[in-house]
A and B are shown apart, each in its own frame.
Chain A
Amino acid sequence: MKQTPLYEKHVGLNAKIIDFGGWAMPVQYTNVIDEHRTTRSAAGLFDICHMGEIEVKGPQALDLLQLVLTRDLAEQKSGQVKLSALLNDAGGIIDDLTVYKMEENSYLLVTNAVPKDRDLGWIKSIQEKRGFDCVLQDITEQTGKLDLQGPRAEEILQKFSAADLKALRFYHFCKTHVAGFEAIVSRSGYTGEDGFEIYVRSNVVGQLWDKLLSAGAAVGLKPCGLGARDTLRLEAGMMLNGQDMDETTSPLEVPYGWIVDEQKEFIGKAALTAKKKSGLTKKLVGIEMIGRGIARHGYKIFQNEREVGVVTSGTFSPTLNKAIAMGFVDAACSAPDTPLEIAVRENRTAAKVVKLPFYKRLK
């Protein structure tokens, strides 16, 4: 298994280590509920060094990204982050990734860990085929990434940040120094809380990890693992690539219509247009359990003895104290409050469709 630069830190903190897509990652240090609640009430620090970073630079960098990504980036300003989807020819989601515009003709793509090589290969093949004048570079290994998330995140990070974080808006970033290290600080995340994604060189990420943890301890900061990251993102109604969607999933079937800009041309668009014309057969929805039981990935969904879908993510929600899930259902069963039954082992457990997200923080 691959290890992040922080692997020894996790072992030293007695973390439970799991294989996440070929990476040895901490799933929890204490327990998921504690880490989850810590992030909601104070702040959590997450090792996200496994995620991919790809630079795209050159006179035709924007042309290439406009062609391979669903989001219209023409109006994107330097310092802005945009979530986008990368589609195959059939309109299926290869990855959902964030695009950082560093300056004119210079972009950073932040990808999911597992599909990173697939993303890079796919984008490169398009670039070569079309002869776009730009260079792609995988900088994942040189890059360390920490997510500092929660209501106390700003206060903790400000102790180290040269930039004034109050002035940094959601889904914006700045190039600055954090604890003296060159850094990119982005106000964004995968938890539904206020917080930051921090990028530094991988050889200093261990020092930054230690500094943040010791300075943040006084306000309740704790290291948090992938277990809490998963329950936090699910409460916030965010999908997980490879679990809630794969290359057979259309962005129209999941709550990603908003990152598809149909007024521009992009790879996969023809397939999406055709799909729209023929009508969607399934949709990803939020599900709340009514009966006792927890829906899990792969459990079947029924309505009146008829199989109508499958659960893609499910857990016990530590914030709401009930079982929540996401899953694909027949489009006819996708309206809020539609009654469903989830096959939990030999039982059918009552559930219903609910609007996403399950949790929204108070601003």
Chain B
Amino acid sequence: MAKPNPQDRYYSRDHEWLIYYSDGTALIGITDYAQEMLTDIVFVDLPEIGRRVVQHATVAVVESVKSVSDVFAPVSGEVIEVNSRLEETPELINQDAFGEGWIVKMIVEDPEELNMLLTAADYEEMLNEEKE
């Protein structure tokens, strides 16, 4: 069973999460549900610092033994930090998708885009609908 989805952040329909900080930056990762679907994550392709991505564009790639999955930027912005621990220990995402397994930190270009994201409750509702 997936861990509960924390209330302190936004969610995307593509199973990313985003924590928005008061300094205009955001931490981004994939949800516990997503890591459960991917199972054994063995490689994470991280972007270069300074890369600018638009909303819904690929910001990182997560690979399990069998599959290759894009991580889409929930909002537009510039990558200012990556979780370089994932280079040696990609399984951090499996172990702690909402915490230690974060993927990138970005400067949010347009906070208005956050309005297009889901709350934890909306995201859970979406998951329940998918299951049905």
Taking a contact as CB atoms closer than 8 A, the residue among A27, A28, A293, A315 that contacts B45 in the complex is A293
Contact with B along A56-96 (1 / 0, CB 8 A): 00000000000000000000000000000000000000000
**How far apart sit A32 and B64, CA to CA, in the bound complex (Å)?**
9
A206 CB within 8 Å of chain B? no
**How far apart sit A336 and B77, CA to CA, in the bound complex (Å)?**
44
B40 CB within 8 Å of chain A? yes
Least Cβ–Cβ distance between B62 and chain A, in angstroms: 11
B100 CB within 8 Å of chain A? no
Query: Which A residues lie within 8 Å of B87 (CB)?
Result: 292
Query: Which A residues lie within 8 Å of B68 (CB)?
Result: 294, 296
Least Cβ–Cβ distance between A122 and chain B, in angstroms: 32
- Interface hits, B18-67 → A, CB 8 Å: 39-40, 42-43, 45, 61, 63-66
**How far apart sit A190 and B39, CA to CA, in the bound complex (Å)?**
24
A113 CB within 8 Å of chain B? no
Chain B, residue nearest A226 (CB): B66
* Interface residues of chain B: helix, strand, loop or mixed (majority): strand
Number of interface residues, chain B, beta carbon within 8 A: 12
**How far apart sit A316 and B65, CA to CA, in the bound complex (Å)?**
6
Query: Which B residues lie within 8 Å of A34 (CB)?
Result: 40
**How far apart sit A318 and B41, CA to CA, in the bound complex (Å)?**
11
Q: Interface size for chain A: under 10, 10 to 19, 20 to 34, or 35 or more residues?
A: 20 to 34
With A292-B87, A294-B63, A316-B65 in contact, do A32 and B45 touch (Cβ < 8 Å)? no
Query: Which B residues lie within 8 Å of A315 (CB)?
Result: 65-66
Chain B, residue nearest A16 (CB): B39
- Interface hits, A307-338 → B, CB 8 Å: 315-316, 318, 323
B45–A31 CB distance below 8 A:
no
B61–A32 CB distance below 8 A:
no
B42–A294 CB distance below 8 A:
yes
A292–B43 CB distance below 8 A:
yes
A38 CB within 8 Å of chain B? no
**How far apart sit A33 and B43, CA to CA, in the bound complex (Å)?**
13
Taking a contact as CB atoms closer than 8 A, the residue among B43, B45, B61, B65 that contacts A318 in the complex is B65
A316–B61 CB distance below 8 A:
no
**How far apart sit A294 and B61, CA to CA, in the bound complex (Å)?**
11
Query: Which A residues lie within 8 Å of B45 (CB)?
Result: 292-293, 344-345
A339 CB within 8 Å of chain B? no
- Interface hits, A215-235 → B, CB 8 Å: 227, 230-231
Ordered by A's residue number, 7 sampled pairs between the chains whose C-beta atoms are within 8 Å are A32-B64, A32-B65, A36-B65, A292-B43, A316-B63, A316-B65, A345-B45
- Residues of A in contact with B (beta carbons under 8 Å apart): 27-28, 30-34, 36, 227, 230-231, 292-294, 296, 315-316, 318, 323, 344-345
* Apart from the given pairs A28-B39, A31-B40, A345-B45, 14 other A-B contacts in the complex at a CB distance below 8 Å: A27-B66, A28-B66, A32-B65, A33-B42, A34-B40, A36-B65, A227-B66, A231-B65, A294-B42, A294-B43, A294-B63, A294-B68, A296-B68, A316-B42
Across the A-B interface, give the 6 residue pairs with the lowest CB-CB distance, nearest first.
Answer: A316-B42, A31-B39, A32-B65, A31-B40, A33-B40, A227-B66
- Residues of B in contact with A (beta carbons under 8 Å apart): 39-40, 42-43, 45, 61, 63-66, 68, 87
